[in-house]
Amino acid sequence: MLNFPQIYLGIFSLFISGLAFLNILYCYYFDLLLDIKSFFFIFLFCLIFSTLNFFKKKNINKISIYEKIFTVILGYILIPVILAVPYYLTLNNINFFDAYFESVSGFTSTGFSIFNNLKHLNESLILWRSSTQWIGGLYFLISIILLIDIFDKNLKESLTNFISLNTGETLRQSIKISIIYLLLTIVIFIALSISGIRFFNSFNLSLSFISSGGFLPDNGLDSIVTNKFQEIIISLSMLLSFFSLFLTYNLIFFKKENIKFFSEDFYLVFYFIFIVSVFFVFFNFDNNFTSLFLAICSSISNIGISLNVPNNLSFIFLILIIIGGSFFSTSSGVRFFKLFALFKFSINELISHAKPRNIYINKLSFFNTYVDVTDLYKYFLSVIIFVLSLSILSLLLSLSGIDSEESFRLSILTIMNTTNSALSNLENFNFTELDYFAKTSLIFFMMIGRVELLSILIIFKKFFFKT
């Protein structure tokens, strides 16, 4: 009888086998016969594993939140092992640990790379790098549905009418997510192709952008983009991983009774307009706003890639990266909605001390939404966890011999699952030269950035604080 982790990982093994088959077709068509063996191994292994899970008897009647959290964490550890195999088998000058680092970076949609020159990689491996991000983004979204019980009420209500999802509803939502995710990927690919970007680059970029990933099919974005129109299309494509994945779906199938589904995206629109306006008025130094607009979209979507931007704006871009995007998107970050609710609560508390006779409630405008105090405690805990994680990782990287400022910037990018580029003044950072301790630290916190420490704290509470 199968337990839940086997079933859950078996489902994603089927997705991985599909992506491996896509790479096999690409290798065969372009006569890259030396690369086929590694992808054929992945295809067979994942297909057999998922098929065996399909036919065996299953036991998923009642799954505890602890088992769900454990399953998600286990997936972030084990799936990159499979994804690392093509790097290891195809390339002669790479050890398995570096291959694992690359696959974790892709699966968590971070974008750190040990490859300094992509010209030395076959296109099949470049396609595989992008594929690891795509499957990682889908894994992240479905994991949110799986762990929805640990999130607060307001974020749930912006996603579904169900406060808690049973097995059947979880499956239905997961199927809907997969279909929307695939369709949006196709939309991005078509838009990029129409703009004149090479088909191969458009396909890889579509896999990266929808997953909020940072892998590029070339050494730099400037090698791909040739005009302002392409910059605008790329910028708008990035926004699909900033707003909720369900935004397009909810707009097409709009129902008045589901107006609350737009609550978070509504505030994100105002936040986005405000940020763009501020940059246009105060930071448009060289009248090259399209590149600046691309940098804004890349930062708030936690993608991180960019063209040339002023170095003195890197700190602002890091703040935008920390804030992040929608709760139900592939972007990372602390989340704007949480910070906005905390800000409004803090203002109400200050005013209540100045005018104690008045009553102030934590109500968000326009949608008649009230924020529960227990939810605010969770938001505050998320901020505390981020600060602690940032401090710990910065210390660990400094102990590895990395400059303190670089350690701080790199720690932000790692926890926020955002690639290094000119946005953070780390475009020339060399991950190949890092020692095993530094790489292990980055791997651990890349996973933490996706799982969130709140989930791990719940696990610790289960085993160490049983009372």
Is residue 225 included in any domain, yes or no? Answer: no
Does residue 122 sit in helix, strand or coil?
A: coil
Percent pLDDT > 70 in the chain is 84
Predicted confidence at residue 122, as pLDDT, reads 86
Predicted confidence at residue 353, as pLDDT, reads 67
Give the integer Cα–Cα distance in Å for 39 and 84.
Answer: 11
Alpha helices in 115-255 (DSSP H): 123-146, 153-157, 167-194, 199-210, 228-238, 247-252
Q: Per residue in 295-347, pLDDT tens?
A: 999 999 999 998 888 778 889 999 999 998 887 888 888 888 888 888 877 77
Percent pLDDT > 90 in the chain is 41
* pLDDT surpassing 90 at residue 264: no
Identify the domain containing residue 415 by its residue range.
283-464
Is residue 70 included in any domain, yes or no? Answer: no
Query: Which pLDDT band holds residue 156 (cuts at 50, 70, 90)?
Result: low
Residue 96 Cα to chain centre, angstroms: 24
Predicted confidence at residue 278, as pLDDT, reads 92
Is residue 359 included in any domain, yes or no? Answer: yes
Contact 312, 194 (CB under 8 A): no
Predicted confidence at residue 121, as pLDDT, reads 86
Is residue 128 included in any domain, yes or no? Answer: no
* pLDDT surpassing 70 at residue 133: yes
Predicted confidence at residue 330, as pLDDT, reads 86
Contact 80, 103 (CB under 8 A): yes
Is residue 425 included in any domain, yes or no? Answer: yes
Mean pLDDT of 352-381: 67
Question: Can you give 299-359 as a three-state secondary structure string?
Answer: HHCCCCCCCCCCHHHHHHHHHHHHHCCCCCCCCCCCCHHHHHHHHHHHHHHHHHHHCCCCC
Mean pLDDT of 193-202: 94
Report the candidate in 97, 98, 8 with the shortest Cα–Cα distance to residue 60.
8
Other C-beta atoms closer than 10 Å to the C-beta of 362 total: 17
Instruction: Return the amino acid letter for 132.
Output: T
* pLDDT surpassing 70 at residue 356: no
Q: What is the mean pLDDT of the chain?
A: 84
Mean pLDDT of 60-69: 74
Q: Minimum mean pLDDT among 40-54, 185-199, 217-231: which range?
A: 40-54
Number of structural domains in the chain? 1
Q: Minimum mean pLDDT among 3-12, 60-69, 182-191, 233-242: which range?
A: 60-69
Predicted confidence at residue 456, as pLDDT, reads 63
Is residue 418 included in any domain, yes or no? Answer: yes
Query: Which pLDDT band holds residue 58 (cuts at 50, 70, 90)?
Result: low
Query: Which pLDDT band holds residue 445 (cuts at 50, 70, 90)?
Result: very high
Instruction: Return the amino acid letter for 303.
Output: I
Query: Which pLDDT band holds residue 467 (cuts at 50, 70, 90)?
Result: very low
What phi and psi values does residue 302 have, to the nearest 5 degrees?
60, 35
Is residue 97 included in any domain, yes or no? Answer: no
Predicted confidence at residue 249, as pLDDT, reads 73
**Most confidently predicted of 55-69, 104-118, 246-260:** 104-118
Is residue 83 included in any domain, yes or no? Answer: no
